[in-house]
């Protein structure tokens, strides 16, 4: 079947200002009027908090939805270089003078075709989509009807003038072309009203025919074949004599096209009648491609003697309207729905041709006059024109969007479209600048019960689907975080209200202040979402503790506090209620001896006394350095031993206090230097005695102080090399380690001087062991030297003192767990006592020798 239908251009032009009428139809006055008429309140809500009348609301002020279409995001669409000269585009937010295309991306583009019913239905859809559903609307006008689905695709005209919806498509002759792009578009269904073409005459002519003698019936096709009176009433000669209608101002059907001659066609029956000297009737047609060849073929196959003269759409309307006024007989082609039938309601009757038969309709070829003027056509159709279901088409990109549901439900009945045409006729007779919009708006306002069923209600607001949370404080590493809530799609006019849901969660939850980490918040949404309605029960995770620095009693206090205390009472938590209470404070041992401790002060005073005694001893040695007993004891070595005592005394003090880089570095140096200085001096004294008295008994040997100091330097160089290597590779930094606390449930940070390896400490111990062994060996060699030069008992005694000190200190350092203050007391006491014992032993020796000399003298 080939049935083509074209339409006159509608009144949209370059002066159309859709932007000025956007969101102006459903105003507050209409809502108030509807409330008064129906005795309802548009703001009533049900038990779920949803609006009882969700669509009885003023036009939405802000968009609610958008169409994400890659095609409309291109900056090239709907530009002058991309559009045909007869195409127009009205984008969202187009400026007043229409110089720019307006906004395209994200908008819903409606395809507008060139006839009244399409324009009116499109305006109804535009009002529904923009003012009720919340889409930004753009309108594309123009383009061929066969390209409707191509404009909905991503190829061809879809690249330049992409569209989403077309509300009225006549598919009778174009469906095969439309199917070519069904992979990116789809046929939604019928728009509701039907398209119908036919042959019409005036109602008065029908009445006059019934009264005639004999009667004839202009509303039935057989009488056009058999009634001479009817044929004479519609005489073609009379028609052609009326210059107002014929010939048309412009040639509509050129001679030879479709069998035309002087803008007219002729049936074979008419040619035969004229050959017999009789006239034929005339059927006024519009243009050749309106239902091309259909009615001509039907009349020809029914042997009706007729002319078909083309006088244009406006010409037919004027011809028929004038006939209705004057009562003249008329026979003309027209179609419904159309404004003509609304403004001339009741004046015209449709001529009944043989009942339409789908099988016969399929035979229509769309041809006529192919064999010449007055020669029978090969087009076999001989039944009335069928009633066509007009279809809606949509781009696939909108299928699953809310507009897809609205579009599928949008249905306008024949009564509705005629009412729209009536509104349009009224608007056209007035001064309204946009009659199509005004007609559609008036219809929408008076047909609330019809269109409210087209819309789906907004979903109920739920926490999971419509609310988003945002955690503050994560970027600044703050311990306090706030979980703030907002709508996923807030109303642009009031962000505290949602824009895409209704009822359910009535308001945004209050901000939740929490001490939880951002990672925990992200991973435990199900847990903290329950805190929106009720605070959690307090447990140990809601409070924290703070371990204070060491006090003068060598204890650290552990104080508990809520991570987020209540603003007016720190004993209460601001993020939980009930459950656990804050534990009592706990005191734990300090990991070092604080310098504020009375114990330290006592030991420091003792060390000061020892230092004073050492200084006094040094003064005596220097003053009495020429005394025989001092000279035999080598006063230089005695001074070195006293200096070593200063080192060990200093170490007793340095091992107290919070570890720092200076203290961590100086502590082993003081101990080692003290040991090396004291024992080095003893060993050098023994070495000097050995070389003088034992090395060569028959030869006088002189051992200078410089020689002794060179030997002593070997021990210092060994210490220095070890310390340089140690401090360069693994400096004993003050290191904080986190350990599980035994006094309370938690961890505590402890600071200590720490090296990653024990190897350097082991090297120092080994090096000191060599010094001890060498001292013992030399003391053994000089065991038989004169008592005045004998050092063996003192070296051996010093070794014993050191070994005893090590036996006391080493287990405390590595084997026994004890308080840091206790360890320090043992260490400092051992260092001071050992120093005093060694120094005291030599003082006793000097005193004994001095007393013996004094007795011999006296």
pLDDT given at position 851:
46
pLDDT given at position 689:
62
CATH superfamily of 598-857: Rhodopsin 7-helix transmembrane proteins (1.20.1070.10)
Structural contact between residues 161 and 140, judged by C-beta atoms closer than 8 angstroms: yes
In whole angstroms, give the CA distance from residue 621 to residue 819. 41
In whole angstroms, give the CA distance from residue 857 to residue 854. 5
How confident is the chain (858 residues) per 10-residue block, as mean pLDDT?
40 53 90 94 93 94 92 86 81 74 89 88 94 92 78 88 91 74 90 93 94 92 93 93 92 91 94 93 93 93 95 94 94 93 93 93 89 92 91 93 94 94 88 88 95 94 91 83 91 90 90 89 89 90 90 90 88 89 90 88 89 84 72 71 82 86 86 77 68 55 68 80 84 86 85 81 77 69 55 57 55 61 81 75 53 48
In whole angstroms, give the CA distance from residue 216 to residue 472. 90
What does the DSSP 8-state code read for residue 67?
B
In whole angstroms, give the CA distance from residue 236 to residue 622. 157
Domain formed by 65-183+390-454, architecture: 3-Layer(aba) Sandwich (3.40)
- The domain locations on the chain are 65-183+390-454, 196-381, 469-523, 535-589, 598-857
Structural contact between residues 660 and 751, judged by C-beta atoms closer than 8 angstroms: no
pLDDT given at position 476:
78
pTM of the predicted protein model: 0.70
In whole angstroms, give the CA distance from residue 618 to residue 681. 14
DSSP states of 670-690: HHHHHHHHHHHHHHHHHHHHH
Q: Do domains 65-183+390-454 and 598-857 have the same CATH topology?
A: no
pLDDT given at position 716:
81
CA distances from 658 to 234, 391, 794 (A): 124, 89, 37
């Amino acid at each position: 079947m080939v049935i083509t239908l074209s339409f006159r251009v509608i009144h949209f032009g370059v002066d159309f200002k859709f932007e000025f009428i956007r969101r102006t139809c459903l105003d507050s006055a209409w809502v108030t009027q509807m409330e008064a008429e129906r005795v309802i309140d548009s703001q009533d809500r049900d038990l779920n908090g949803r609006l009882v009348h969700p669509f009885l609301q003023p036009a939405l002020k802000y968009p609610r939805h958008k169409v994400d279409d890659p095609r409309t995001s291109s900056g090239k669409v709907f530009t002058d270089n991309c559009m045909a000269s007869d195409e127009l585009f009205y984008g969202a937010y187009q400026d007043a003078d229409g110089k720019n295309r307006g906004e395209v991306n994200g908008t819903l583009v409606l395809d507008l075709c060139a006839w009244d019913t399409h324009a009116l239905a499109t305006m109804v859809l535009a009002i529904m989509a923009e003012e009720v559903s919340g889409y930004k609307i753009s309108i594309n006008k123009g383009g061929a009807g066969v390209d409707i689905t191509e404009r909905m695709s991503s190829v061809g005209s879809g690249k330049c003038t992409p569209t989403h919806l077309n509300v009225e498509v006549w598919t009778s002759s174009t469906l095969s072309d439309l199917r070519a792009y069904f992979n990116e578009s789809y046929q939604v269904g019928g728009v509701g009203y039907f398209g119908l073409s036919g042959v019409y005459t005036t109602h008065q002519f029908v009445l006059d025919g019934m009264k005639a003698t004999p009667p004839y019936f202009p509303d039935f096709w057989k009488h056009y074949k058999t009634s001479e009176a009817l044929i004479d009433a519609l005489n073609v000669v009379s028609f052609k004599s009326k210059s107002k209608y014929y010939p048309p101002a412009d040639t509509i059907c050129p001679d030879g096209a479709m069998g035309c001659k002087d803008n007219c066609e002729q049936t074979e029956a008419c040619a035969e009648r004229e050959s017999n000297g009789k006239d034929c009737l005339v059927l006024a047609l519009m243009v050749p491609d309106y239902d091309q060849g259909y009615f001509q073929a039907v009349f020809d196959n029914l042997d009706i003697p007729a002319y078909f003269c083309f006088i244009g759409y406006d010409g037919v309307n004027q011809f028929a309207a004038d006939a209705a006024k004057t009562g003249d007989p008329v026979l003309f082609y027209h179609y419904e729905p159309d404004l003509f039938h609304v403004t001339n309601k009741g004046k015209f009757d449709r001529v009944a041709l043989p009942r339409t038969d789908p099988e016969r309709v399929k035979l229509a070829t769309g041809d006529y006059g192919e064999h010449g003027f007055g020669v029978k056509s090969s087009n076999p159709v001989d039944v009335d024109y069928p009633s066509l279901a007009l279809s809606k088409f949509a781009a696939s990109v909108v299928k699953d969007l809310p507009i897809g549901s609205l579009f599928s439900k949008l249905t306008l009945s024949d009564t509705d479209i005629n009412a729209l045409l009536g509104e349009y006729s009224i608007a056209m007779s007035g001064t309204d600048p946009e009659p199509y919009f005004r007609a559609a708006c008036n219809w929408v306002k008076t047909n609330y019960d019809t269109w409210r069923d087209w819309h789906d209600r907004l979903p109920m607001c739920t926490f999971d689907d419509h609310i988003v949370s945002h955690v503050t404080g994560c970027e600044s590493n703050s311990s306090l975080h706030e979980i703030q809530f907002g709508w996923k799609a807030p109303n642009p006019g009031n962000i505290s209200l949602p824009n895409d849901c209704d009822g359910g969660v009535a308001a945004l939850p209050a901000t939740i202040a929490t001490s939880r980490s951002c990672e925990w918040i992200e991973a435990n949404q199900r847990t903290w979402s329950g805190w929106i309605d009720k605070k959690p029960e307090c447990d140990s995770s809601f409070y924290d503790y703070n371990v204070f620095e060491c006090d003068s009693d060598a204890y650290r206090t552990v104080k508990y506090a809520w991570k987020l205390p209540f603003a007016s009472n720190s004993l209460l938590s601001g993020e939980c209620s009930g459950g656990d209470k804050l534990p009592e404070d706990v005191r734990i041992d300090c990991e070092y001896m604080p310098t504020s401790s009375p114990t330290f002060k006592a030991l420091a005073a003792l060390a000061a006394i020892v230092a004073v005694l050492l200084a006094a001893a040094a003064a005596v040695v220097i003053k009495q350095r020429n005394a025989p007993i001092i000279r035999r004891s080598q006063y230089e070595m005695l001074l070195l031993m006293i200096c070593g005592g200063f080192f060990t005394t200093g170490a007793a003090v340095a091992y107290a206090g919070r570890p720092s880089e200076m203290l961590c570095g100086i502590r082993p140096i003081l101990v080692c230097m003290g040991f090396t200085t004291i024992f080095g001096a003893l060993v050098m004294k023994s070495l000097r005695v050995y070389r003088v008295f034992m090395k060569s008994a028959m030869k006088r040997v002189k051992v200078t102080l410089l020689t002794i100091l060179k030997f002593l330097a070997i021990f210092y160089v060994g210490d220095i090399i070890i310390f340089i290597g140690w401090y360069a590779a693994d400096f004993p930094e003050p290191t904080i380690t986190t350990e599980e606390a035994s006094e309370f449930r938690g961890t505590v940070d402890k600071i200590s001087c720490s090296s990653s390896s024990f190897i350097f400490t082991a090297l120092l111990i080994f090096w000191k062991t060599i010094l001890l062994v060498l001292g013992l060996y030399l003391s053994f060699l000089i065991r038989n030297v004169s008592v005045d030069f004998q050092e063996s008992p003192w070296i051996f005694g010093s070794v014993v003192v050191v070994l005893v000190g090590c036996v006391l200190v080493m287990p405390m350092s590595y084997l026994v767990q004890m308080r840091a203050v206790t360890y320090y007391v043992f260490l400092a006491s051992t260092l001071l006592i050992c120093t005093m014992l060694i120094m005291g032993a030599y003082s006793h020796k000097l005193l004994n020798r001095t007393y013996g000399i004094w007795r011999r003298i006296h």
